[in-house]
Structure 1
Amino acid sequence: MKLWQAKLLNQATRARMAGRRLPEEARANLAVLDGLNGRASALAQRFVVVDLETTGLDHTKDRVVSVGAFRVVEGRIRLGEVFSELANPGRGIPVESIKVHGITPDNIRDARPAWEVFRNFLNYLGRDIVVAHYARFDMFFLNRVMRAQYGMRLQNLVMDTVLMCRAALIEPDPYGQKKGAKRCSLDALAARYGLEVPERHTALGDAMATALILQRLLPELSEAGWKTLGDLVQVAGVQ
């Protein structure tokens, strides 16, 4: 994806939504790409690194149970600007999923539904660029709520640290053999950079791990020639 394509899609969404009565947070989200300069340094951007925990991996039936996020500004993680909240999925949590993330029905009994949590997350996010590891998974759940509540997908730029890894660290793979795929897993990247992930498979723990990995990948991308925001969108952007 290129930045001009993201802006074109945004303009199409704005035209489609024109005249509709939208909540303030949705109107603000329509304008998040305004003023973005593709020639600006990728290292100087503002990011929100997010991770979701869910009731399972089935997009058709599973729901979010936890949202965790950290803000990264000019390469620095702002530990005082954290988003962390449980969400009530409105359905049971399979034992297999509880074994992974440790969230039980008792934990989420009094939690707010996902649409209320995401409304607050949207205000927290603001105009910042979304970053996630295997971003399409997280974005599916975020955008399902966005479409249900506002009739549109999230308009922020979205970057995937897996794609950053493939661009910066993995040799070209013209035949699609995916020999380097395992080297871009969260655990493999944490090991490469000597990072401890004490709360693995929690939304906040995995968001922190991804933020730490982002801090290290951005300079490596710059050294590889991907220096600007436009470069970053091209190499790591997802729709």
Structure 2
Amino acid sequence: MAPGWLPSLFGGARLRDPAYRFLFEPGPADEAVAIDCETTGLDTRRDDIVSVAAVLIRGARILTSQRFQSFVRPQAKLKPDAIKVHGLREADVAAARPIAAVLPDLLRFIGGRPLVGYYLDFDMAMLDRHLRRWLGIRLPNPRIEVSALYYERKYGDAPPGTQVDLSFSAMLADLKAPMLDQHDAYSDALMTAMAYVALSDLAARGIRIPRQPMRGAPSFEIG
């Protein structure tokens, strides 16, 4: 029995609605989903989601035609610091669907595919809080953290004392990926997908990111 199978087995046993058992079934071997949430604040117990987006990755292709985007009407008040980050105000999400109406569509989009994110644990904590109330589970999907992939490719062989920068902007600059409108859920999911594809390509070819500026960069296809 594979080590990662037991948590899925027990999670599936707790599932309150068998219609969502597909979450525990692996997706296509060459597919993953990049995901991002914007929120009312940074407290995973009290703040809430105001927008969520996801984009399908198939091999080295980012399929922007197959994406999920939704504003969400939050139960918590938007904090001023959060508004400064993503620009969404109460009026912008007042007519949006509540998370209970958004989640079924999101879950059908992601299926059992691995989820790719930048500091993904935060986004998953925000989603899992609602999933536990509704379905009795947390998302069972494998999770891929792009900052960890980036660290391994750039700093995995670094000597002690090396200064480490895992910021989104530093990662994208190293990978020669375009900086889109950061802190928009879809743009962040798309940039995360680009980073994942590029880092996966580097790892497959055994290439490390130099700790000096890169001259060349791996290619990826968006479409």
TM-score w.r.t. length of structure 2: 0.85
Q: Is the 8 A contact 1:167 1:221 kept in 2?
A: no
Structure 2 residue aligned with 1:193 = 175
Q: Relative to 1, partners in 2 of residues 1:118 and 1:131: Cα closer, same or farther, differing over 3 Å?
A: same
Q: CA deviation at 1:162?
A: 1.0
Look up the equivalent residue of 1:189 and give its one-letter code.
M
Deviation at 1:221, TM superposition (A): 1.6
What are the superposed Cα offsets for residues 57-79 of structure 1, whole Å, 9 maximum, x if unpaired?
11121110000111000110111
Question: CA offsets per residue over residues 69-126 of structure 1, 9 Å max, x none?
Answer: 1100011011110111000112221121111101111111011111221211000111
Corresponding residue pairs, total: 207
* Matching residue of 1:223: 205
The answer to whether the aligner puts 1:206 opposite 2:188 as a matched pair is yes
Query: Where does residue 60 of structure 2 map in the other structure?
Result: 75
Equivalence for 2:26: 33
Q: Is the 8 A contact 1:133 1:210 kept in 2?
A: yes
The Cα of 1:179 is off from its aligned counterpart by 3.3
**Greater share of helix:** 1
Where does residue 11 of structure 2 map in the other structure? 13
> After TM superposition, what 4+ stretches of structure 1 lie above 6 angstroms from structure 2?
none
Does residue 114 of the first structure (1) align with residue 95 of the second (2)?
A: no
Deviation at 1:216, TM superposition (A): 0.4
Task: State the Cα distance separating 1:156 from its structure 2 match.
Answer: 1.4
Residue 195 of structure 1: CA displacement?
2.3
Letter matched to residue 138 of structure 2: R
Q: Identify which range, 89-98 or 104-113, moves more after superposition.
A: 89-98
- The one of the two structures with greater contact order (alpha-carbon pairs below 8 A, sep at least 6) is 1
Q: Report if aligned partners of 2:14, 2:137 keep a CA contact under 8 Å in 1.
A: no
| Cα displacement (A) at 1:144 | 1.0
- Deviation of residue 13 (structure 1)? 2.1
Sequence identity percentage: 28
- Asked whether 1:124 is paired with 2:109, we answer yes
Bigger CA drift: 216-225 or 52-61? 216-225
Measure how far apart 1:4 and its partner are. 2.8
- What's the offset of the Cα at 1:28? 1.8
* RMSD of equivalent CA atoms: 2.2
- Label 1:53 to 1:16 Cα distance change in 2 as closer, same or farther (>3 A): closer
- The aligned residue for residue 166 of structure 1 is 151
Displacement of 1:174 in angstroms is 9.1
